[in-house]
Chain A
Amino acid sequence: MVAPGADNRRVVITGTGWVTPLGNDVESVWSKLLSGASAIAPLTRFPAQSFATNFGAEVRSFDLAHFLADTDLHTKSHLHVKFALAAAAQAWKQAGLGDVSRPGQTHAGFPDLNRKRVGIYLGSGEGTLDFENYARACIDSWRAESRTSDSVAWAHSTREHFDPEYEVEQEPNLAIAHLAEAFGVRGPAFNCMTACAASTQAVGEAYCMLRRGDADLMIVGGSHTMLHPLGMTGFIRLTAMSTRRDDPATASRPFDSTRDGFVMGEGAGILILERLDHARARGATPLCEVVGYGSSADAYRITDIQPDGLGAVESMREALMHAGIDPHKPDALGRPPVQYISAHGTGTKENDSIETRAVRGVFADQAPRIPFSSVKSMLGHLIQAAGAVELITCVQAIRTGFVPPTINLNHPDPVCDLDYVPNTARDLRDSGGVEIAMSNGFGFGGQNDTVLIRRFDPSR
């Protein structure tokens, strides 16, 4: 049991927001996740029919104006920035900080909020290239005889066809800039890009900043879309994605022996993190408490995960040690030490077997007892946004006592032998629900991040 911490060293989650391929609000997405719905279908964003992977999980029926009354400042924003704004608006409202969907409420909120002490830490991705104009410039400036590009011709073509404002908005720190405009943030602002671990890392580092006293409240999470021609191209060439073109809805098969790669998704997950003393002072209701964070690097190879998952083991162990949880012992109620793990669970051969080995390495005999599911089976892989979106899954598991399933899991794989909650959500309320949940994010390039959250207990 961890020693009780002072309120200024405890960090709570007071708001959450989701923009996902299964919907654009927490309640409806959660019910779809529990019902095992798949958001994966042929792509409509660009003509992808001939691509080896021609499907993905797109955000649908999305309109920023539904979340934010004052959208004038964000018209040239890229899609993922709009996702971030919409998810942040939800989180801001749930945290009792104001409703920006109503006109004139842009900087509304808790009147005593010191904007210099409000920060942002996102794992937001880059913008979406103006692909057709870019490709046109490349093609028109190619000189076949010398097999070189004429960069003067390229410059003339792009100057004629690019929209300058849209180009500037490409930069990966622009999501922060727009959030800061919408919510009046003047405190520390960071964006990290550690691939698929990014938004788990953003939450973890923001947690450390709040504990250190660098801010009182932070907007954290991630946002990304790579459902564009070069994004799909990059991952197709790496042979990292499923090519199950005949059956997209079941293509994302984490932990199943027939899995053949991940399925690309898009969206945003944003949370409000704040120090407990700050939350108490303004009368906010904590949804959960953040109790542990671990971060490591594989330092192994650029293309492969360390085969024993040692980096993942390290990040999980650090987070558990930090939270004072012994991974080998059941809790006081006889439950496993952690009652839910949101898997990184991408659906690639390599990730799922190594992640399984790593979880076994950390929890030993307790590992098979822990519900360990991958919502990527339903939402696809939201890349930089995945970690924060999945952490909200953990918040919902703690709040409701249900854990979502891994769908499309019909063919057991001998090297994936844990409890992945196959195909059907699980009701854990009879056994006391979920007290502690773990979210893992592992990035291409070897970054590993783990965040642990716990049911909020005001008496601790």
Chain B
Amino acid sequence: MTHQTGTIAPMRRRVVISGLGPVSCFGVGIDPLWTALLEGRSGMAPVRAFDAGGMLCRLGAEIPAGFSVRDFVPKTYRKATKVMARDIEIAVAAARAATLDANILTRGFCEDGQTPTYEGARIGCSIGAGLIAAEIPELSAAFVTATNDAGAFDYDKWGAEGINNLTPLWLLKYLPNMLACHVTIVHGAEGPSNTITCAEASGLLSVGESRAVIERSDAELCFSGSAESKISPLGYNRLECAKRLARTDPDADPTSFVRPFDPDAPGSIPGEGGGILLLEEREAARSRNARPYAEILGFGAGQSSIRGDARARSEGLTNAIERALEDAEVAPGEVDAIVPGAQGATEVDDAEAAALREVFADRLPNIPLITLTPNLGSTYAGAGGLALSVAALCLRHQTLPARLHAGRCPDDLDAGPAPTRDARLRRILVCTTALGGQNAAVLLTTPE
């Protein structure tokens, strides 16, 4: 580790994104996602994973059937997939997809005579995660072995016997750090490893931190991003409690509910997924002839009050965006597009819009917003990894994907329906605000 001391600011090592592993309602990897976005498709459909008939919201944007994490781990690791909750499966698949995209060989996938692209100690990992919901049938089957005569849960019976009906490794399936843990094991990433749990901001915060890890020479390569699935009874229940979800009328068009920044938006609809990006030190990437998607030019974070009006709740995001621009030495007028959280839940969107107005002022109406929730649903902790992946693809292809919107937008926000179009894109800002008041912003630019 070569931490610098001294009064002169050291030359910063620069960090590029050289691989993308998005997982979304369109499947694993770049192609299904990018194609669907260009075609303006939405993944909203009635929930398959459980009977959502008791929920206000009965739609979701789920990963297509047929997804199996076993396809993304070495044969020797297939047994370990039994202790992976859905969130972990998403992260593990995304990490593998990212290494393939970046043409990076890691320990778990080396065949005889091959050596990994990077030494393990030089590979970091930071994966944002949510609180993973335990699978209800698994716990219920055990709980019912410990009930009293009235049919209620009985602690004495549970401690004495019922508890043994849970599999010994039960806890490990649900620890948030197990996303990163499995990825580090599969890929032999022995450098700094972290798990950020700040809801929707988790992915961007992870990428900001991974960039700092590479910048300060603690790693050359980092798996970074986020993953989550809230498509579960507990996930929907908590989101209902937080008053975030749309009540979905079964007769209405499933794509009509999510309307970012619409003052009359009915609420959000959960999706599942995430994205793992490979962050790489720029010179190291260059020396192996990698073709980066983007350079991470700036990062900022800030905390808002979780109470008060939209202005009060926007302070942290304003601070995050301003800090990211300052870090990148970029003026607000030099931003060509913005990927906001845009959940379609008015309380969040109002705060985001207030921050964007504060920072971009008169220029805001001319900056296209790339809104992903009408296509992908709200992916919570997974959103940051997905949003950064899409931003990187926009830079690569110099294209803005089609935008869905079934409602109305404020006049000063370029967020209404639009077809896929070419655009000159040098710098894209990705930003989000989280339930809990954390905010983060990342500024990407086309690589030199």
Residues of A bordering B, CB below 8 Å: 2-6, 8-9, 46-52, 54, 73, 116, 119-120, 126, 132, 135-136, 138-139, 141-142, 144, 147-156, 158-159, 162, 164-165, 167-168, 170-174, 176-177, 180-181, 185-195, 201, 205, 208-209, 211-212, 214, 229-230, 233-239, 294-303, 311, 314, 318, 321-322, 443-447
Interface string of B263-277 (1 = CB under 8 A from A): 000000000000000
27 CB contacts below 8 A, A to B, read A50-B155, A50-B157, A135-B153, A139-B147, A142-B137, A149-B137, A151-B136, A155-B54, A159-B237, A159-B240, A168-B238, A168-B242, A171-B238, A172-B197, A174-B436, A176-B303, A177-B303, A177-B437, A180-B305, A187-B301, A188-B320, A189-B437, A235-B171, A297-B181, A299-B120, A322-B1, A447-B193
CA of A300 to CA of B120, assembled, Å: 11
Given contacts A176-B438, A177-B436, A296-B193, contact A302 B302 (CB under 8 A): no
Residues of B bordering A, CB below 8 Å: 1, 3-7, 50-55, 80, 83, 107, 120-121, 125, 129-131, 134, 136-137, 139-141, 143-144, 147, 151-153, 155-160, 163, 166-172, 175-178, 180-182, 184-185, 187-199, 201, 205, 209, 212, 215-216, 218, 233, 236-238, 240-242, 300-307, 315-316, 319-320, 323, 434-438
In this complex, what residue of B is CB-closest to A444?
Answer: B175
Chain A residues with CB under 8 Å of B163's CB are: 51-52, 233, 236-237
- Contact indicator A299/B241 (Cβ below 8 Å): no
Given contacts A152-B51, A156-B54, A446-B181, contact A205 B437 (CB under 8 A): no
CA of A116 to CA of B320, assembled, Å: 9
Instruction: State which of A148, A162, A167, A190 has its C-beta within 8 Å of the C-beta of B209.
Output: A190
CA of A193 to CA of B79, assembled, Å: 25
- Contact indicator A447/B177 (Cβ below 8 Å): yes
- Contact indicator B199/A237 (Cβ below 8 Å): no
- Contact indicator A180/B144 (Cβ below 8 Å): no
CA of A411 to CA of B424, assembled, Å: 72
CA of A299 to CA of B6, assembled, Å: 34
In this complex, what residue of B is CB-closest to A323?
Answer: B3
CA of A282 to CA of B121, assembled, Å: 40
- Contact indicator A162/B237 (Cβ below 8 Å): yes
In this complex, what residue of B is CB-closest to A449?
Answer: B192
- Contact indicator B199/A171 (Cβ below 8 Å): yes
Chain A residues with CB under 8 Å of B1's CB are: 294, 318, 321-322
- Contact indicator A138/B136 (Cβ below 8 Å): yes
- Contact indicator B181/A173 (Cβ below 8 Å): no
Chain A residues with CB under 8 Å of B55's CB are: 155
- Contact indicator B152/A171 (Cβ below 8 Å): no
- Contact indicator B192/A295 (Cβ below 8 Å): yes
Chain A residues with CB under 8 Å of B166's CB are: 233, 237
Instruction: State which of B155, B233, B315 has its C-beta within 8 Å of the C-beta of A46.
Output: B155
- Contact indicator B315/A238 (Cβ below 8 Å): no
Contacts A156-B54, A171-B238 supplied; 7 other A-B pairs, CB < 8 Å: A6-B5, A54-B159, A155-B54, A159-B237, A208-B212, A445-B181, A447-B193
Given contacts A5-B6, A155-B233, A296-B193, contact A314 B121 (CB under 8 A): yes
- Contact indicator B136/A149 (Cβ below 8 Å): yes
- Contact indicator A189/B438 (Cβ below 8 Å): yes
Which of the listed residues A47, A180, A192, A314 has the most CB atoms from chain B within 10 Å of its own CB? Answer: A192
Chain B residues with CB under 8 Å of A148's CB are: 137
- Contact indicator B155/A229 (Cβ below 8 Å): yes
CA of A230 to CA of B155, assembled, Å: 11
- Contact indicator B176/A172 (Cβ below 8 Å): yes
| Shortest distance from the beta carbon of A358 to any chain B beta carbon, whole Å | 14
| Shortest distance from the beta carbon of A177 to any chain B beta carbon, whole Å | 5
- Contact indicator A190/B193 (Cβ below 8 Å): no
Instruction: State which of B176, B192, B196, B238 has its C-beta within 8 Å of the C-beta of A297.
Output: B192
- Contact indicator A181/B158 (Cβ below 8 Å): no
| Shortest distance from the beta carbon of A215 to any chain B beta carbon, whole Å | 9
Chain A residues with CB under 8 Å of B5's CB are: 2-6, 9
Instruction: State which of B159, B193, B198, B320 has its C-beta within 8 Å of the C-beta of A50.
Output: B159
Given contacts A171-B131, A176-B438, contact A295 B218 (CB under 8 A): yes
Which of the listed residues A2, A141, A174, A194 has the most CB atoms from chain B within 10 Å of its own CB? Answer: A194
Chain A residues with CB under 8 Å of B7's CB are: 6, 8
CA of A239 to CA of B172, assembled, Å: 13
Which of the listed residues B143, B193, B236, B323 has the most CB atoms from chain A within 10 Å of its own CB? Answer: B193
**What is the count of residue pairs linking A and B with beta-carbon distances less than 8 angstroms?**
304
Chain B residues with CB under 8 Å of A136's CB are: 152-153
In this complex, what residue of A is CB-closest to B202?
Answer: A173
Given contacts A150-B51, A205-B209, A297-B190, contact A188 B301 (CB under 8 A): yes
| Shortest distance from the beta carbon of B69 to any chain A beta carbon, whole Å | 14
Chain A residues with CB under 8 Å of B175's CB are: 193, 195, 444-445
Chain A residues with CB under 8 Å of B121's CB are: 296, 314
Q: Tell me the dominant secondary structure on chain A's binding face.
A: mixed
- Contact indicator B197/A173 (Cβ below 8 Å): yes
Chain B residues with CB under 8 Å of A174's CB are: 436
Q: Which 5 A-B pairs have the closest CB atoms?
A: A155-B54, A234-B171, A50-B159, A188-B301, A445-B181
CA of A208 to CA of B319, assembled, Å: 20
Chain A residues with CB under 8 Å of B52's CB are: 151
| Shortest distance from the beta carbon of B8 to any chain A beta carbon, whole Å | 9
CA of A28 to CA of B178, assembled, Å: 37
- Contact indicator B184/A297 (Cβ below 8 Å): yes
Chain A residues with CB under 8 Å of B159's CB are: 48-52, 54
Instruction: State which of B107, B171, B241, B242 has its C-beta within 8 Å of the C-beta of A238.
Output: B171
- Contact indicator B136/A171 (Cβ below 8 Å): no
- Contact indicator A296/B191 (Cβ below 8 Å): yes
- Contact indicator A301/B237 (Cβ below 8 Å): no
In this complex, what residue of A is CB-closest to B151?
Answer: A139
CA of A162 to CA of B140, assembled, Å: 17
Chain A residues with CB under 8 Å of B54's CB are: 151-156, 159
CA of A151 to CA of B236, assembled, Å: 11
Chain B residues with CB under 8 Å of A194's CB are: 177, 180, 193-195
CA of A172 to CA of B435, assembled, Å: 11
- Contact indicator B83/A302 (Cβ below 8 Å): yes
Given contacts A187-B303, A322-B3, contact A139 B152 (CB under 8 A): yes
CA of A180 to CA of B139, assembled, Å: 35
CA of A46 to CA of B5, assembled, Å: 52
- Contact indicator A299/B212 (Cβ below 8 Å): no
Instruction: State which of A46, A151, A195 has its C-beta within 8 Å of the C-beta of B51.
Output: A151
Given contacts A48-B159, A144-B144, contact A186 B197 (CB under 8 A): no
| Shortest distance from the beta carbon of A273 to any chain B beta carbon, whole Å | 16
- Contact indicator B144/A142 (Cβ below 8 Å): yes
Chain B residues with CB under 8 Å of A46's CB are: 155
CA of A148 to CA of B168, assembled, Å: 21
- Contact indicator B242/A186 (Cβ below 8 Å): no
- Contact indicator A302/B172 (Cβ below 8 Å): yes
Chain A residues with CB under 8 Å of B143's CB are: 135, 138-139, 142
In this complex, what residue of B is CB-closest to A315?
Answer: B192
In this complex, what residue of A is CB-closest to B156?
Answer: A50
Chain B residues with CB under 8 Å of A132's CB are: 153
In this complex, what residue of B is CB-closest to A226?
Answer: B171
Chain A residues with CB under 8 Å of B151's CB are: 139
Chain B residues with CB under 8 Å of A116's CB are: 302, 319
Chain B residues with CB under 8 Å of A139's CB are: 140, 143-144, 147, 151-153
- Contact indicator A142/B141 (Cβ below 8 Å): yes
Instruction: State which of A5, A152, A181, A189 has its C-beta within 8 Å of the C-beta of B198.
Output: A189
| Shortest distance from the beta carbon of B154 to any chain A beta carbon, whole Å | 9
| Shortest distance from the beta carbon of A274 to any chain B beta carbon, whole Å | 17
| Shortest distance from the beta carbon of A126 to any chain B beta carbon, whole Å | 5
CA of A239 to CA of B216, assembled, Å: 39
Chain B residues with CB under 8 Å of A212's CB are: 212, 215-216
Instruction: State which of B177, B189, B198, B233 has its C-beta within 8 Å of the C-beta of A195.
Output: B177
In this complex, what residue of B is CB-closest to A3?
Answer: B5
- Contact indicator A445/B199 (Cβ below 8 Å): no
In this complex, what residue of B is CB-closest to A299?
Answer: B184
Chain A residues with CB under 8 Å of B201's CB are: 173
